[in-house]
Amino acid sequence: MKADQKKWDKRFGRKEFALGKEPNPFLKNHIHLLPKGRALDVATGEGRNAVFLAQNGFEVDAVDISEKGLKKARKLAREKGVKINTFLVDLDQFRIEKDRYDLIVNLYFLKRRLIPKIRNGLKKGGMVVFETYLLEHRTLATGGPKQAKYFLKPNEPLRLFKNFRIQFYREGTFREGRRRKAVASLIAEKI
C-alpha cells in the first residue's frame, strides 16, 4: 500500500537504524530450534533479522515495501560480510510459492491474510517464527502501532497456526531493555 510505503520510507530514510542492527531477541534466543535451509523474512524492515539468519547459515529472501529499508538491509549485510536476497514487494499482493521455505519469520508485522500463504509456503517440517503485539500493549503507552487491527487477541497465533505443531508459545508483558511490551511469541512446525 502506498501509504505504508511512504510512512516506512520516511522512518527508514535516516542514517541511523530505526530498529537497530541487533536481531529480535526472541529469534536470537531460539535460533538453535530452527531448521537450516531457505528462509523468508516477511516485512524485513532494515534487515536486522534477515542478516542474523544469513550469519547463521540460512539462504535468506528478505521482502518489504520500503526501498529505504531494503537499502539499509543490504548495507547491514555488507557490513557483516553476508549475502541476502532483497525484494521490494507489497505483502497485500505477495505470493509465496508452495512448499518453498524451511523457515518463515514474521516479526512485528500483522497481516492476517498473509498467514495462509505462510502456512502454504513452508515445507513439511519447516517452521514459522512469529511475534507481535497483544491488544493490552496499547495500555502501556510505550510505542507500537496505533490501529486496533494490528494487535493480537488472546491465543490468536495458536488459532492462526492450529494445524501446526507448537514448539514454543508465550503471551505476556515483558521488559526488553528499557521498554515494556505486551506480545505473543510463537514457533510452530508444519506437520
Ligand X SMILES: C[S@@+](CC[C@H](N)C(=O)[O-])C[C@H]1O[C@@H](n2cnc3c(N)ncnc32)[C@H](O)[C@@H]1O
Q: What are φ and ψ of residue 64, in 5° steps?
A: -165, 160
Closer by beta carbon to ligand X, 108 or else 164: 108
Closer by beta carbon to ligand X, 66 or else 164: 66
Q: Tell me if 133 contacts ligand X by CB under 6 A.
A: no
Among 40, 65, 84, 103, binds ligand X (CB under 6 A): 65
> Which region among 30-38, 105-113, 155-163, 175-183 touches ligand X (by CB under 6 A)?
105-113
Q: Which of the residues 71 through 100 are near ligand X (CB under 6 A)?
A: 89-92
Q: Tell me if 107 contacts ligand X by CB under 6 A.
A: yes
Among 51, 61, 64, 76, binds ligand X (CB under 6 A): 64
Closer by beta carbon to ligand X, 19 or else 140: 19
CA-CA-CA-CA torsion sign (138, 144, 147, 150): negative
Closer by beta carbon to ligand X, 58 or else 108: 108
Q: Tell me if 60 contacts ligand X by CB under 6 A.
A: no
Q: Beta-carbon neighbour count of residue 63 at 10 Å?
A: 20
Q: Which of the residues 137 through 166 are near ligand X (CB under 6 A)?
A: none
Closest by CA to 96, choosing from 119, 127, 76, is 119
- CA pair distance 132, 144, nearest whole angstrom: 10
Residue 115, classed as helix, strand or coil, is helix
| Joined grid coordinates for residue 10 | 520516511
Closest by CA to 97, choosing from 121, 126, 62, is 121
> Which region among 1-9, 77-85, 170-178, 182-190 touches ligand X (by CB under 6 A)?
1-9
- CA pair distance 148, 145, nearest whole angstrom: 8
Interface residue list for ligand X (CB under 6 A): 1, 4, 8, 19, 24, 43-45, 48-49, 64-66, 69, 89-92, 107-109
